[in-house]
Amino acid sequence: MKKKMLSLLVGISLCTGMLAGCNKGTKMNNYDDYVTLGEYIGVEYTPLSTEVTEDELQEQVDAFLQQCGTTEELTEGTVKEGDTINLDYIGYADGEAFEGGSTDGAGAELTIGSHSYIDDFEEQLIGHEVGEEGIEVNVTFPDDYTNYDGTPSDLAGKDATFVCTINSIYETVYPEELTDDIVAEYSSYDTVNSFMDALKMDYENYKSELADQQMKIDIITTVIDNATVNSYPESEVEKMTEQTIQAAKDTATSYGMEFSEYLGYLQDEEGNPYTEETYAAGAEEYIRELLTEKMVICSIAKKEGITVTNAEVQAYVETESSEYGMDTDAMYESYSMEDLSYAVIYDKVMEFLVENAIAIEE
């Protein structure tokens, strides 16, 4: 089962809402005509390893040490690629200093290679020394260069020269190894041993959670692949696709943007900006994939007699509310009983599938 995530495609209420309705007594409690179940008991999967290796721990230590750097401002040295420098400059075009083209002696930080300045500006500073004055950096402004307010700039297409002074280079030094002092300064632990024990435990928990998630994904993917979708409840597909598109329109409005403009910031799997037509098609495809999962889950629940009680829904609401810092009343206001019932049914069906799956060790 392949799920395509469209950026900001659906909110959580839409996701759960569209999947509502397979509990007894709700309006969509029978998908027998739409899907034929395949094998779902005894599904095989290969569990991920939860063993924490020394290399993995070292990667975590290295990442931690990268957060423990101290930065010094050097008053001597040669500028090279990747350096962060402090410089002053005055920009000239047509022989005159132009407005906004000077640091006015306040200094500006620039990382060489960041391409945050006009093309070829940064490269021309490489090899120059800290304290060096009168460095001429010659550039050409792009033809479409604009002012900060988006209006066309008088500098567009013009050659310009920036006369620069390199004030300093910032150097960040990172500790090469873990010590008690570093651990005490940058963490809540006092010694390397206590830090490493906690790090290993946290990473073991992380890998266990990751393995559990992947196991469930592998199992439900196989179960869905084994099933045959005969057709879809098209009214449900249409309704949820419309809701998905409307959610995107509401998001665009909240940003003060036209829908078409907003879609230009989103990309499909090929990296192309969405149009209203391609977004609608992608939304419908996404809905059909989610609906396929829903139909399979609900059909298994019906066949296996898996149901949900009000007490189970209440327990689910209390757990989720606590985890996400929501009030239980807010949960009930945000989601219908059908939404919440399906969430419980989904978990119970997944638990059933996991209990009846077979782990195949590599």
pLDDT at 216: 97
* Closest-CA residue to 354 (of 236, 250, 213, 175): 213
Q: Which residues contact 295 (CB under 8 A, 6 or more apart)?
A: 31, 34, 35, 229
The predicted pLDDT at position 7 comes to 35
What is the rounded average pLDDT for all residues in the chain?
90
* pLDDT for 151 beyond 90: no
Encode pLDDT of 109-132 as tens digits: 999 999 999 888 999 999 999 999
* Mean pLDDT value of segment 195-215: 97
Is the pLDDT at 29 greater than 80, yes or no?
Answer: no
pLDDT higher at 59 or 11? 59
pLDDT, tens digit (0-9, with 9 covering 90-100), for 247-263: 999 999 999 999 999 99
Q: What is the pTM of this model?
A: 0.70
Whether the Cβ atoms of residue 73 and residue 85 lie closer than 8 Å to each other: no
| Residues 169/77, Cβ–Cβ less than 8 Å | yes
What tens digit of pLDDT does each residue of 68-110 get? 999 999 999 999 999 999 999 999 999 999 998 999 999 999 9
Residue 105, Cα to own-chain centre: how many angstroms?
40
- All structural domains of the chain, each given as residue ranges with its CATH number in brackets, are 12-38+227-359 (1.10.3120), 70-173 (3.10.50.40)
CA–CA distances in Å: residue 355 to residues 158, 296, 300, 341, 359: 71, 17, 14, 21, 10
Q: Work out the average pLDDT over 149-171.
A: 92
| pLDDT tens-digit map of 311-361 | 999 999 999 999 888 889 988 888 889 889 999 999 999 999 999 999 998
Q: Determine the Cα–Cα distance for residues 169 and 283; give it in Å rounded to an integer.
A: 50
State the pLDDT at residue 18.
38
Average pLDDT over residues 209-214: 97
